[in-house]
Structure 1
Amino acid sequence: MQELIGGGLVVAAFSALPVAAQDQPEGGYGAFADTAVSELVGQNVLSAVGDNVGEVEALVSADGAVLAVLGVGGFLGFGEHDVAVPLTELSPAEGALLLEGLDRETLEAMPEYGGEGEPLAMNTTVAGAPIAEEPALPDATVIETPTE
Structure 2
Amino acid sequence: MIQRSITLFLAGLVAAGAIGVTIDASDAAAQGAPQSVTQTRVDVVQMGGGFRASKLSGATVYNSDKDRIGTIDDLILSPSDRNAFVILSVGGFLGMGKHYVAVPFSNLQISDKQVVLPNATKQSIEALPEFKYAPD
Number of the residue aligned with 1:42: 58
From the two aligned structures, give the one with the greater strand fraction.
Answer: 1
AA partner of residue 131 (structure 2): Y
Q: Which residue of structure 1 lines up, in the alignment, with residue 132 of structure 2?
A: 114
Deviation at 1:33, TM superposition (A): 7.6
TM norm structure 1: 0.53
Normalising by structure 2, report the TM-score. 0.57
Q: For residues 66-145 of structure 1, what are the structure 2 equivalents within 5 Å?
A: 66-115=84-133
Q: How far did residue 72 of structure 1 move?
A: 0.4
CA distance in 1, matches of 2:115, 2:62: 6
Q: 1:112 to 1:33 in 2, by over 3 A?
A: farther
Alignment check: 8 A CA contact 1:89 1:101 kept: no
How many Å separate the matches in 1 of 2:91 and 2:107?
19
Q: Identical aligned pairs, as a percentage?
A: 32
Following the alignment from structure 2 to structure 1, what is the Cα–Cα distance between the partners of residues 125 and 62?
12
The answer on 1:52 being equivalent to 2:52 is: no
Higher relative contact order (CA closer than 8 Å, sequence separation 6+): 1
**More displaced 10-residue stretch of structure 1: 81-90 or 101-110:** 101-110
Cα gap change, 1:33/1:80 in structure 2, threshold over 3 Å: closer, same or farther?
Answer: farther
- Larger radius of gyration, structure 1 or 2? 2
Counterpart residue number, 2:77: 61
Using the alignment, how far apart are the partners of 2:49 and 2:87 within structure 1?
17
Alpha-carbon distance, 1:111 to partner: 1.0
Structure with bigger helix share is 2
Long gaps (5+) in structure 2? 1-47
Unpaired runs of at least 5, structure 1:
1-31, 117-148
